[in-house]
Amino acid sequence: MSDAGREEWTALARWQRPALIVGVVALVVCVIGAWFDPGQFFRAYLSAYMFFLGIALGGMVLIMLHQVTGGAWGFLIRRALEAQMRTLPLLAALFLPVAVGVGWLYPWAQPEEIAAEPKLQYQQFYLNPPFYWGRAAVYFVVWLGMAYLLTSWMREQDRCGARRLAPRIVTFSGVGLVVYGIAIHFASIDWVMSLVPKFPSTIFPPL
C-alpha cells in the first residue's frame, strides 16, 4: 500500500468507532420505538430498506449495463458499483424485519381487514404471507446468484486478464438485465405497491 493509500485508510479508520457508536444508539432508539408503535417502526424500516436495496441493486444493474454497452464510462465507477453490489448478502439478512413485520405492514395480512374487504379476499390467492415469503426468497436467490457470478468472473478477469471470460460476462449481463427486470417488477408489487392493495397501476412496477 502506498503512503497516500495508508493515510486515506488511517483517516477512514478514525471514523469507524464514532460511526459504530451512532449506529448502536440509533438501533436502541429503533427498538424502543418498535416496542411502543410496531406499525410505524416497520413502515419506517421498509422505507429505509428499499432505499439501500436500491443502491445495491442499482450498482449491479449498472455493471451489467456497462458490460453490454461497453465504453470507458464504466471503468471510472466500477469499483464503487462492485462495492454497492457486494452489500446484497447483508441486505438479504436485513430483510428479516420486513418479513417478520408483514402483519403490521400490509392490510392483506390482517384478518380484520380481509374480513371487511371483498377485494382483499379475492387477492388472497397471491397476497398471503407464506407466498410473499417464498417469492422474496426467490428474488434474493436470483440477485445473490447474479452478484456472485459477476463478482467471481470479474475478479478472475482482473487477476489474469482472461479474454475468454469477456463474452461470457457480456452474455450473462444481457440475460441478467432481463431477469432483473422481471424480479424487481414483482418485488416492487409485493413490497411497496401492495401496501395499498386497492391501488391499481400498470406503470408502478416499471417505474
Contact residues for 139 (Cβ-Cβ < 8 A; gap 6+): 183, 186, 187
CA-to-CA distance for 170 and 13, rounded, in angstroms? 37
Of 66, 79, 45, give the one whose Cα is nearest residue 174. 66
Neighbour count for residue 171 (Cβ, 10 Å)? 12
CA distance 72 to 202: 36
User: What is the reported pLDDT for 118?
Assistant: 87
Percent of the chain with pLDDT over 70: 95
Of all helices (H) and strands (E), which one includes residue 71? none
Segment of 1-10, 19-28, 133-142, 149-158 carrying the highest mean pLDDT = 133-142
DSSP label of 207: -
What is the spatial distance between Cα 179 and Cα 198, in angstroms, rounded to a whole number? 27
Query: What does the pLDDT look like over 74-122, one tens digit per residue?
Result: 888 888 999 999 999 999 999 999 999 999 999 999 989 888 888 888 8
Distance (Å, rounded) from C-alpha 104 to C-alpha 106? 6
pLDDT exceeds 80 at position 156: yes
Q: How wide is the angle at C-alpha 27 spanned by C-alphas 26 and 29, nearest 5°?
A: 65
DSSP 10-71: HHHHTTHHHHHHHHHHHHHHHHHHHHH-HHHHHHHHHHHHHHHHHHHHHHHHHHHHHHHH--
pLDDT, mean of residues 164-183: 90
Q: How far is CA 56 from the centre of its chain?
A: 6
Of the candidates 61, 91, 68, the one whose C-alpha atom is nearest the C-alpha of residue 181 is 61
* Mean pLDDT taken over the chain: 88
Residues 1-41 pLDDT 10s: 556 556 666 777 778 888 888 988 988 888 887 788 888 89
The pLDDT, as a whole number, for residue 71 is 81
Residue 130: band (very low, low, confident or very high) from pLDDT cuts 50, 70, 90: very high
Look at the alpha carbons of 93, 41, 24, 16 in this order and tell me if their dihedral is positive or negative.
positive
Look at 6-10, 49-53, 65-69, 176-180 and tell me which has the smallest mean pLDDT.
Answer: 6-10
Predicted confidence (pLDDT) at residue 197 exceeds the cutoff of 80: yes
* CA pseudo-torsion sign 161, 167, 172, 174: positive
pLDDT confidence bin for 136, thresholds 50/70/90: very high
CB 103 within 8 A of CB 109: yes
> What mean pLDDT comes out for the span 140-167?
86
Q: Rounded to whole angstroms, how far apart are CA atoms 51 and 58?
A: 10
Where is pLDDT greater, at 35 or 180? 180
Q: Which three cell numbers stand for residue 84?
A: 454497492
Cell numbers given for 78 = 466500477
